[in-house]
């Protein structure tokens, strides 16, 4: 890094991992093989990338910081199964790139130590790309990992948990202390493993409507479902909403955090006439 005159850039969330034990634990968690393609977001100086290259068919890495490109090209020069893309992952359509894998038929896993300032936008960008990624094994701020993996009736449970768990089974694999990074961030991290479900967890009449109702149920967390629905559809809709909720056996006085994903499916289907 010194030879390339590299300076850490806080604005890109650059906290590099060099602990070999953690790097091999991340790779083991991803259960890679020579029959798996990998996408890495933010390779940094390539410490995780090297492990991924050794253990997978091919790695395609997206790095926003152009000053890291010559370092990566040097450190990973010996690998023929490496493709580096100098780009902001949020500004590109990944569908345009994945066809460039030498064997695009292989399952794709995303393995990355994500920049913390945009973890959620990156995850949503990946999910919304509709690419059937087999699995994500990603490091993020522990608090965000807890929110994604959270179950109903907990403080961490909310729209992010549901947006991800609808498509993926999410589990915190292990915790990583802040001290193993250079420079050390202000928070601890966690490796979150998300495995794509064969089909979404629930079947709903209208997916966009399901997400809209779910999001509006959480707008005022401390308020009841009825209050949040009234805020969304207006006071005059109250008697109709009450009728629909009761007919579907959903209590108007419940709070969103007590509703499971199947409950939200039932709720959004019950309110479909309000669309
Ligand atoms: N993988 C390396 C490691 O584990 O040491 C670096 C991880 S560091 C937490 C995050 C990396 O993501 C940095 O290399 C940063 O430059 C890169 N990055 C930040 N925002 C990005 C974006 N929008 N698109 C692609 N890469 C990004």
Say if residue 100 carries a ligand binding annotation: no
Residue of 4, 6, 64 best suited for mutating to test ligand 1, as the one with most atoms within 8 Å of CB: 64
Pairing of strands 82-86, 16-17: unpaired
Residue 18 predicted with pLDDT over 90: no
Ligand 1: distance of its center to the CA of 113 in Å? 7
Residues 176 and 40 in one domain: yes
Ligand 1 lined by 16 (C-beta under 6 Å):
yes
Q: Is the pLDDT of residue 2 over 90?
A: no
Tell me the mean pLDDT in the region 242-261: 97
Distance, in Å, from the CA atom of 22 to the CA atom of 133, rounded to the nearest integer, reads: 23
Residue of the nearest CA to atom 22 in ligand 1?
A: 88
> Do 192 and 218 sit in the same domain of this protein?
no
- Does 14 contact ligand 1 (Cβ within 6 A)? yes
Cα angle, residue 169 at apex, residues 98 and 201 outer, rounded to 5°: 100
Strands in the chain per DSSP E: 16-17, 37-41, 58-63, 82-86, 108-113, 135-141, 168-176, 181-182, 189-196
Q: Are residues 191 and 229 in the same domain?
A: no
133-174: pLDDT as tens digits: 999 999 999 999 999 999 999 999 999 999 999 999 999 999
Closest CA to 212 of 146, 263, 271: 271
Indicate which CATH number applies to the domain containing 165: 3.40.50.150
Residue 27 near ligand 1, beta carbon < 6 Å: no
**Which of 168, 196, 224 is the last residue in one of the domains?**
196
Examine residue 2 and state whether it is found in any structural domain, yes or no: no
Total domain count, the chain: 2
Both 75 and 148 in one domain: the answer is yes
Do 163 and 239 fall within a single domain?
Answer: no
Residues 61 and 125 in one domain: yes
* 202 lies in some domain: no
Q: Considering only CA atoms, which of 40, 36, 41, 33 is closest in space to residue 107?
A: 36
Does residue 201 fall inside a structural domain? Answer: no
Q: Is 185 found in the same domain as 133?
A: yes
43-56: pLDDT as tens digits: 999 999 999 999 99
Q: Are both 189 and 250 inside the same structural domain? A: no
Q: Is the pTM of this model over 0.80?
A: yes
Is residue 1 included in any domain, yes or no? no
> Given 196, 217, 244, which residue is the final one in a domain?
196
Is 3 within a domain? no
Ligand 1 geometric centre to CA of 91 (Å): 14
* Host domain of residue 68: 10-196
Residue 146 annotated as part of some ligand binding site: no
């Amino acid at each position: 890094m010194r030879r390339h005159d590299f300076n850490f850039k806080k604005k890109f969330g650059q906290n590099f991992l060099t602990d070999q034990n953690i790097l091999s634990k991340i790779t083991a968690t991803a259960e890679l093989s020579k029959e798996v393609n990998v996408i890495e977001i933010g390779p940094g100086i390539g410490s995780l990338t090297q492990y991924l290259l050794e253990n997978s068919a091919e790695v395609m890495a997206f790095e926003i910081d152009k000053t890291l490109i010559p370092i990566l090209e040097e450190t990973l020069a010996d690998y023929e199964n490496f493709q580096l893309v100098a780009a902001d992952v949020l500004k590109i359509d990944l569908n345009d790139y994945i066809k460039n894998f030498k064997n695009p038929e292989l399952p794709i896993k995303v393995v990355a130590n994500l920049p913390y300032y945009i973890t959620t936008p990156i995850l949503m960008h990946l999910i919304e790309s509709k690419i059937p990624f087999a699995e994500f094994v990603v490091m993020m701020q522990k608090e965000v990992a807890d929110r994604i993996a959270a179950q109903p009736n907990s403080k961490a449970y909310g729209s992010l948990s549901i947006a991800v768990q609808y498509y993926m089974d999410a589990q915190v694999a292990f915790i990583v202390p802040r001290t193993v990074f250079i420079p050390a961030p202000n928070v601890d991290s966690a490796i979150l493993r998300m495995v794509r479900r064969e089909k979404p967890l629930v079947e709903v009449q209208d997916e966009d409507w399901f997400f809209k109702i779910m999001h509006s149920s959480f707008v005022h967390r401390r308020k009841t479902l009825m209050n949040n629905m009234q805020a969304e559809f207006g006071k005059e809709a109250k008697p109709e909403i009450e009728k629909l909720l009761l007919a579907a056996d959903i209590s108007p006085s419940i709070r969103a955090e007590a509703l499971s994903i199947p409950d939200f499916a039932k709720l959004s289907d019950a309110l479909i006439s309000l669309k």
